[in-house]
Structure 1
Amino acid sequence: MSTPYRCPNCKTNKTRFNMIEQISHAVKINPESGEIVESFNDHDAGPFHLPYNGPEYRIQCAACGLIEDEKTFAKFGESHY
């Protein structure tokens, strides 16, 4: 977070944001009940379970509520600063 942010939606907020840390948990659920049948760690989920590879953080504009990847707010902040 060493670059300026700016909300691409409301275009006025440059100072108030919520950082949302994304933590994934690999699970296998029962398709009928939705109950968790099995929980895996990152390394033994098996060959049919892809590991999470999304962004580590998401950012929410504290003025309008838009939630996007951190890169979106950073790019808009760099180009409109």
Structure 2
Amino acid sequence: MNDPYLCPKCKTNRTRFHRIVQQVEPVKLSPQTGEIVETYSEDSLDAFHMPYKGPSIRIQCGACGLNEAEDTFVAFARNNQFQ
């Protein structure tokens, strides 16, 4: 996280953000109750359970609330650098 951010929605916020670290927990739920029936590790998923491929960190703008992948804020800052 050494890259500057710029919110692509409000286009003004460069300083106030929430870093959201996502922790993946693969589980199997009961279709009737929604209770966790089984918990998997990333190494032991069954054939019908795809591994998580999303971002491990998401960013939320502290001004407007936009919640996106970190790359979105970094790319927008690179394309809109201070003149």
**After the TM superposition, which residues 4-23 of structure 1 pair with which residues of structure 2 at under 5 Å, given as runs?**
4-23=4-23
Which consecutive residues of structure 1, in runs of 5 or more, have no partner in the other structure? none
Q: What is the aligned-residue RMSD (CA, Å)?
A: 0.8
> Equivalent pairs: percent with the same residue?
51
Partner of 1:26: 26
Aligned mates of 2:30, 2:62 — CA distance in 1: 37
Q: Which moved more, 1:70-79 or 1:44-53?
A: 44-53
CA distance in 2, matches of 1:42, 1:80: 38
Shift of 1:16: 0.8
Extract structure 1 runs of 4+ deviating beyond 6 A. Answer: none
Letter in structure 2 aligned against 1:80: N
Count, aligned residues: 81
> What amino acid does structure 2 have at the position aligned with 1:68?
E
Task: Tell me what 1:54 maps to.
Answer: 54
Gaps of 5+ in 2: none
**1:35-81: per-residue Cα shift (whole Å, max 9, x none)?**
11111111112111111111110000001111001011001101111
Q: Which amino acid aligns with 1:27?
A: V
TM-score (norm 1): 0.95
TM-score (norm 2): 0.92
